[in-house]
Chain A
């Protein structure tokens, strides 16, 4: 098991390096002068030269890349040209908001999707299943921002029970904080909920026709226990691995959700940076989110190795 995990860890290194290379070169090599983009059309050459030096754009590309990589290794993602704060500092301030949203959405999605997926599979082609499948089609087709807007309309405008956007004021209690998190978390979780539901359903259906389920029934094990102990346990293995990939959608979704609900997270940071042409900030946040994604993937790989005995003893 340890060998497998170590192998996964090592396999991650080229991916991270690759992401670093692609992110760097996309921003630096693509035609167009970032300085020109930043300053607008008629700029003062002196200011431009100054900025070029500040951005490290005057050095040869190879040197720039090397320095960038070296900084990256030490956890330095550069300095914002707008706020003049280190990118890492800004991310450190913003990330807790993104994390709260993501973890909340992930939890919510799992809590609903797995039982619903099992239910749909157990009642295959019955009304409950058709309803779940209809929900899946709608859920996968509806853009996150549309969900957000609809929820705001319903809960914040019509019923006026939840705040429409922003975060809880400084020092407010846990209930108040949760109230502010409610809508964005639900919005963010829909996509993941739907994917997990579909995955659980099909995986459960696949497992339910396996011979060992029949064996368990032949032992006289109660239905409920066969469902939870035999079928679900096996059916959840692929669901666990897919969670890593879905965290990717989740991170992408935070950009949208943070905009809809005005949350000061990493997604908002990135979007603002794009609007302000704050290139170090753009590369920094993208690099950071991609890293989180790669790590999430790794985590679910490791989890899979731990929960599947066939791999554990390998």
Chain B
């Protein structure tokens, strides 16, 4: 009997982009977070146009200058403009976050899909390896990678990438595994569909929604880890500006000039918070259980 009320949920696809954006728009917190994320991204992309000074330009007269005047957020102990450094810091944070999370999303999802699709020994091999990576606390794994590879921006990216791979693999494997138990997969297989086609047409679309959520949430963690590494002095090398090293630099002078720590912390907190809230919102609107109730 045809029943229109319980139409099966279609997996998230780009063709549903309009509906998806509408749901995001209706989710007030998610929408606000998306706007903040967008603003920060724009600020990072157009940093050279917005910033009044190059980030490493030293103005000796402005050392530890208070906010206001020609230096909107003040200047650091060397007389570098804080606003400009924070803008360029956004570039580094977002770049490191975006590249490392994208890399780990691609690698992790691929591993997860392979594990879920083939099951058996391939599943075992991949997932046991992921378990091992999970056995390291995240920051420790990143520290270990930096210790081995040396301190540089690209190594920070590699370290964070490795940290996130197992998470993506797990998130991608579960839906892949459950798709493979659907009866229609058996039918397709009998009809002679190739592995490649099966994975791309039937497995990947089901995996996309949870991966997207994980992607957004991990962006916030990536920014947090990068900031922590830089704060600890093993991340982005000074004089390159990173929010983490700006804070650790400002900490030495925070009694006389608290602005540096305050502004950088605020920017960092807002950015991580926005990505986090956006991730939560995406989870709400892509989770079929949540959607039904709304």
Contact = CB atoms under 8 A, between A and B. Distances in A.
Direct contact of A and B (CB under 8 A): yes
Interface of A: 14-16, 18-19, 21-23, 26-27, 30, 32, 37, 137-138, 140-146, 149-150, 153, 157, 248-253, 255-256, 259, 270-271, 273-275, 277, 279, 282, 286, 289-290, 293-294, 297
A149 B247 contact: yes
Contact of A271 (B232, B248, B268, B277): B232
A125 to B, nearest CB: 13
Contact of B135 (A142, A256, A294): A294
B273 A141 contact: yes
The listed residue with most A CB atoms (<10 A of its CB), out of B133, B147, B251, B272, is B147
The listed residue with most B CB atoms (<10 A of its CB), out of A145, A253, A289, is A145
A18 B232 contact: no
A282 B132 contact: no
Interface string B119-158: 0000000001101110111111001111111100000000
Interface of B: 128-129, 131-133, 135-140, 143-150, 220, 224, 227-228, 231-234, 244, 247-248, 251, 254-255, 258, 261, 265, 268-269, 272-273, 276-277
Contacts of A141: 220, 224, 269, 272-273, 276
B220 to A, nearest CB: 7
Nearest to B146: A274
A56 B269 CA distance: 45
Contacts of B128: 14, 18
Given A27-B147, A256-B228, A259-B232, 10 more contacts: A14-B128, A26-B144, A27-B148, A143-B268, A145-B248, A146-B268, A146-B269, A271-B143, A290-B140, A293-B137
23 contacts: A16-B135, A18-B132, A26-B144, A27-B144, A30-B149, A37-B150, A138-B269, A138-B273, A143-B228, A143-B269, A143-B272, A146-B269, A149-B254, A153-B261, A249-B138, A251-B140, A252-B139, A256-B228, A274-B147, A282-B144, A286-B144, A290-B136, A293-B136
A270 B137 CA distance: 13
A117 B137 CA distance: 25
A252 B138 contact: yes
Contacts of A282: 144, 147
Given A143-B268, A248-B138, A18 B148 contact: no
A193 B146 CA distance: 29
Nearest to B250: A149
A297 B272 CA distance: 28
Contacts of A274: 143, 146-147, 234
A189 to B, nearest CB: 16
Contact of A289 (B140, B146, B149, B233): B140
Contact of A142 (B231, B248, B269): B269
A153 B261 CA distance: 11
A224 B276 CA distance: 34
Contacts, number: 126
Given A18-B128, A30-B148, A143 B138 contact: no
A30 B146 CA distance: 11
B40 to A, nearest CB: 13
Contacts of A157: 255
Contacts of A259: 231-232
A270 B261 contact: no
Contacts of A275: 233-234
The listed residue with most A CB atoms (<10 A of its CB), out of B146, B244, B248, B265, is B265
Contact of B148 (A26, A146, A293, A294): A26
A144 B147 CA distance: 21
Nearest to A259: B232
Contacts of B129: 18
Contact of A22 (B132, B137, B139, B265): B132
A142 B148 contact: no
Contacts of B258: 153
A85 to B, nearest CB: 19
A18 B133 CA distance: 9
Contacts of A22: 132-133
The listed residue with most A CB atoms (<10 A of its CB), out of B135, B224, B251, is B135
B137 A251 contact: yes
B284 to A, nearest CB: 13
A290 B129 CA distance: 15
A204 B268 CA distance: 32
A23 B148 CA distance: 10
A92 to B, nearest CB: 19
A142 B266 CA distance: 9
Nearest to B270: A141
B138 A145 contact: no
A293 B141 CA distance: 12
Nearest to B227: A143
A18 B135 contact: yes
A141 B132 CA distance: 27
Contacts of B150: 32, 37
- The 9 A-B pairs of least Cβ separation, nearest first, read A18-B132, A252-B139, A141-B273, A252-B137, A141-B272, A248-B137, A274-B147, A251-B137, A146-B265
